[in-house]
Amino acid sequence: MMARLRARRNKSPASVFFTSKGNENRKPQPCIMVACMVGGGKPVGPVWGHRKQSIDRALATLSKRCDCGAKFHQAQEFSGFRVGGD
C-alpha cells in the first residue's frame, strides 16, 4: 500500500516595505507595509515595528485579505530602511 502524499501548501510571494508613520500622538514610529506580488491588490499596513514578529503578523493579515487564492504569503522582496530587527 502506498503512503499518501501531503499536498503542498499554496504560497505566494510578498513584498515588504520598511517605513515609518506617525502614530496617534503624531510621533514617527517604525512600521511595515506588505503587498502580494501575484494579486497586485492593496497593500496591508501599517503594522508597527520592524522585527520578525511584525513581518509575520503583516503576512498573516495579508493572507486573510488577499484575493490571489494562496493560503500563505512568503516575504521575498524587501525595500526601505529597516531600523533594528533580528
Round to whole Å and give the CA distance between 75 and 49: 16
Q: What is the pLDDT of residues 28-84, one digit of tens each?
A: 999 999 999 987 778 998 999 999 999 999 999 999 988 888 889 999 989 988 876
pTM for the structure as a whole: 0.80
Identity at 72, one-letter amino acid code: F
User: pLDDT tens digits for 1-26?
Assistant: 555 554 445 889 999 999 999 988 99
Residue 34 near residue 18, CB atoms below 8 Å: no
